[in-house]
């Protein structure tokens, strides 16, 4: 029998921003996308090539402090609403004002973007081990994945229309986040979403905020040579399985 003939699928990957080893994340995501030989990927460092995004079947992003223009926010929102699938990772929802030694602020500078994504990053405690619990064990995106621990940034977010977010992974935490303007999380809702689905019109967003990574040369605002290399959840087999399933979801698969 001959090889099954697959139809070409166009995808757009945005990998860019600050404070992270974007080269590492970009390469790892391209490796995972390459497991699907019919997927053709165009890569950008921001969200401004909305024509190419709109011509794609799905969008994947790994960014931090990339602030889409009002035009890009509006056009990507419309693309999702018309049926686009958006697989958003880590700091896609983050805008950071970082001017050492001042604390880090999270300006509410892209309301359309935050509302589309369903959340905006505000703060995180120091990188440390924390438990990740499966919130919906019957959903195929997390089915069969046991709750696990990961050494990563625990994202504390401001949610938009939280009741319409479908939690897939969650964790619980309260405390203080030194180094951030909004640092008192002692009385917050202790349940924080690590991954969720959000339907929007005919399309949908899948968000997974794990996956911090940083190399020696990625914090020039603070130090010329950062002493540690952070790989965090990228070293966790569960994270890679979640990414693979997320790509299958973006392709329209249901298992």
What's the CA gap between 178 and 125, in Å, rounded?
7
Distance in angstroms (rounded) separating the CA atoms of residues 143 and 135: 10
Q: What is the pLDDT of residue 4?
A: 76
175 φ/ψ sector (left φ>0, alpha ψ -120 to 50, else beta): left
Using alpha carbons, select from 194, 91, 187 the residue that is nearest to residue 134: 194
**Integer Cα distance of 141 and 242 in angstroms:** 7
* Amino acid 216: pLDDT: 98
Q: 136 and 168 in contact (C-beta within 8 Å)?
A: yes
- pLDDT-derived band at 21 (thresholds 50, 70, 90) equals very high
Domains delineated in the chain:
9-122+194-250 (3.40.50.880)
13, 42 contact by CB (below 8 A): yes
User: Average per-residue pLDDT in the chain?
Assistant: 97
The pLDDT assigned to 1 comes to 46
| Predicted confidence (pLDDT) per residue in 170-218, tens digit | 999 999 999 999 999 999 999 999 999 999 999 999 999 999 999 999 9
- State residue 132's pLDDT score: 98
pTM summary value:
0.97
Give which of 13, 56, 8 is closest to 36, Cα–Cα.
Answer: 8
């Amino acid at each position: 029998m001959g090889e099954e003939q697959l139809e070409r699928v166009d995808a757009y990957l945005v990998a860019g921003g600050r404070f992270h080893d974007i080269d590492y994340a970009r390469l790892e995501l391209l490796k995972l996308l390459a497991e699907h030989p019919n997927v053709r990927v165009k890569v950008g460092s921001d969200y401004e090539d909305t024509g190419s995004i709109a011509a794609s079947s799905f969008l994947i992003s790994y960014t931090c402090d990339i602030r889409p223009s009002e035009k890009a926010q509006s056009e990507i929102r419309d693309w999702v609403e018309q049926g686009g699938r958006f697989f958003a990772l880590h700091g896609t929802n983050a805008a950071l004002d970082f001017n050492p030694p001042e604390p880090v602020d999270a300006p509410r500078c892209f309301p359309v973007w935050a509302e589309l994504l369903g959340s905006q990053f505000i703060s995180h405690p120091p990188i440390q081990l924390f438990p990740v619990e499966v919130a919906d064990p019957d959903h195929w995106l997390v089915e069969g994945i046991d709750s696990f621990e990961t050494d990563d940034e625990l994202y504390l977010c401001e949610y938009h229309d939280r009741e319409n977010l479908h939690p897939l992974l969650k964790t619980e935490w309260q405390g203080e986040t030194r180094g951030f303007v909004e640092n008192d999380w002692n009385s917050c809702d202790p349940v924080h979403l690590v991954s969720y689905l959000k339907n929007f019109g005919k399309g949908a967003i899948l968000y997974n905020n794990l996956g911090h990574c940083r190399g020696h040369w990625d914090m020039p605002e603070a130090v010329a040579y950062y002493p540690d290399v952070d790989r965090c959840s990228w070293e966790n087999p569960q994270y890679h399985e979640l990414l693979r399933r997320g790509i299958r979801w973006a392709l329209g698969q249901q298992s």
